[in-house]
Chains A and B, each alone.
Chain A
Amino acid sequence: DQQVKQNSPSLSVQEGRISILNCDYTNSMFDYFLWYKKYPAEGPTFLISISSIKDKNEDGRFTVFLNKSAKHLSLHIVPSQPGDSAVYFCAAYSGGSNYKLTFGKGTLLTVNP
């Protein structure tokens, strides 16, 4: 039972364009969401997060949007750079928990020069 779903295993975009990575969730108790980026042979690294009381959080080129009614969030990268090529994981904390993260399967982003 996949509670955090990343339905696109891969995404390819051109350098300079926008990358949009999507994530859906089924557990209505999730109230804090994070995006992690993972390069080959490295562990995941934190990218950006959003609380369920917000609908947008921005950090430089990265913006996360949350649509609670649709149980959907998305990560926008503008402009995309070749160094952004990595696997992106969506993850969520359940209400009241600050230790148990539920991860999606990840989306491989390739940014072509």
Chain B
Amino acid sequence: DADVTQTPRNRITKTGKRIMLECSQTKGHDRMYWYRQDPGLGLQLIYYSFDVKDINKGEISDGYSVSRQAQAKFSLSLESAIPNQTALYFCATSDRGQGRDEQFFGPGTRLTVL
């Protein structure tokens, strides 16, 4: 079973709709992240959370909100989706105290806003 899972894997929605993307992890990591990737661009950080009570904005948080329901779950919401939020969204985790090491990524959610 995958360590970091994302649901849904694909979603098509309309402008103005509320959308929630969910991320779950079984790695036992403290830190979780949401990234967005646009075609031909690198990943940009939307929000990150160091634990359930510690949530922080990343580079491009406008139009997004998050909820850390438990250590293992971190969801990303688009309150009113717009077409330029069409992108590939990745959730990632990392382990505090493990130094400057890797982040583990989920498989991604492809979101299309019409």
Which residues of the partner chain A approach B50 to less than 8 Å between Cβ atoms?
99
What is the 8 Å Cβ interface bit string for chain A, positions 69-113, against chain B (1 contact, 0 not)?
000000000000000000001010100001111111110000000
The interface-forming segment of A12-20, A37-45, A55-63 is A37-45
How extensive is the interface on chain A, given as a class?
20 to 34
Q: Are A105 and B41 in contact (CB under 8 A)?
A: yes
Interface centre among A36, A93, A99, A104 (most CB of B within 10 A): A99
Which residues of the partner chain A approach B48 to less than 8 Å between Cβ atoms?
99-100
How extensive is the interface on chain B, given as a class?
20 to 34
Which of chain B's residues has its CB closest to A98's CB?
A: B100
| A:1-49 near B, CB below 8 Å | 4, 9, 32, 34, 36, 41-46, 49
What is the 8 Å Cβ interface bit string for chain B, positions 85-114, against chain A (1 contact, 0 not)?
000001010100001111111111000000
Which residues of the partner chain A approach B4 to less than 8 Å between Cβ atoms?
43
B20 interface residue per 8 A CB criterion: no
Q: Are B90 and A43 in contact (CB under 8 A)?
A: yes
Q: Are B100 and A43 in contact (CB under 8 A)?
A: no
Could you tell me which B residues sit within 8 Å of A by CB distance? 4, 31, 33, 40-45, 48, 50, 58, 90, 92, 94, 99-108
